[in-house]
Structure formats: structure tokens, C-alpha cells
Amino acid sequence: MRSTDLVVTRWGARFRGRRLPCAIGRGGMSGSKSEGDGATPVGVWRIVGAKYRADRVWCRADTAFPLSPISPGDIWSDDPADPAYNHGLRAPGHRFSHERMRRGDRLYDLVLVTDYNWPNAKPGAGSAIFLHRWRKPRHPTEGCVAFAPKDLRWIAQNWTQTSRLIVRG
């Protein structure tokens, strides 16, 4: 492991010499993730991009990954029957189950997108594993890793091309 790796355990995270509290999936951590199990997948992942609510947060353009604003019609497919499973798409007219990216709450004001089961998604193996804002300290997610808003922004600003997300069960 490198100091530029974000290491997540059941007890918190470590990144660039800092310890950060975080929340994981309500299903704990799993080496055999499946859609809807609420588990955070164990493994090594990369951040492949980020989405943000331009009307709510300011994001620096000099991050190590592409940034794009969340539009009202942005969705993420979570339906294993969808040919675009575990990919970001645009609504309306998408007939498969999906998650809206532009939420009323603040959880997705800044979303770091991982390469878990992406880009060649295996149907049913889990979708939408993001780093995002937590609802409240240590409140479980649906499988994502969630942080305090200030810590999430700090992670985004300090991420490098060689950084990895390491989830250890």
C-alpha cells in the first residue's frame, strides 16, 4: 500500500496520513457483492470520475479525474436486465430501474465514481459503488463508502493518478 491509497475498513479510513471516519454498506463488507445486498465490495478500485451539484458545491477543475456537473436528468442504472447496467445515463424514457443522481437530499452533492464492476459490468454483481457524503456519522449506506462533506472534498482534492481505493474486509 502507498500513502496515496485510501484504505477503508469497518472502523474507518486512512488516506495521506489522516484517519477519517466513514460509513460503509448496511450489509457490511463482502467479497461476493450482489445487486441489492447493501454490502460494500472488498477489493481495490480506482476513481474514474466525479459528479457534482453545481448549484450546491464548488469543485476545483484540477482534480486527478474528470469532473462533470449533475444535470436534472442524470441517472445510474441499477437493473441487471438493463444493457446499460451500472452506467450513468440520461432520463426521461429509460424504462429500466435506476437511481436518480440529482437528489433532493445532499448525499450526492459530490460523488466520486469508482470502477467497481465498470465499465464491463457483470449483471447482478452490484452497481453504483460511489464515495459520497454521509447522511450522518457512520449511518450505513446501500453499499457505497460515505464521508463527512469536508473529508470527501479533501479526498477529491488530494487524489492522485496513482491513488487507489482499497476496501479491506
What the chain holds in terms of domains, given with CATH numbers, is: 6-167 (2.40.440)
Residue 113 has what pLDDT?
Answer: 98
Task: Give the strand pairing for 165-167 and 6-9.
Answer: parallel
Query: Which residues of the chain fall below pLDDT 70?
Result: none
Cis peptide before 69 (omega within 30 of 0): no
22 CB contacts (<8 Å, ≥6 apart)?
Answer: 8, 12, 13, 134, 138, 145, 146, 147, 151
Q: Which residues pair with 67 in a beta bridge?
A: 50
Residue 4 confidence (pLDDT): 95
pLDDT at 125: 97
How much is the pLDDT for 57? 83
CA 4-26-84 angle, 5° bins: 75
Model confidence, pTM: 0.95
Q: What is the pLDDT of residue 169?
A: 84
Look at residue 59 in the predicted model and tell me its pLDDT: 75
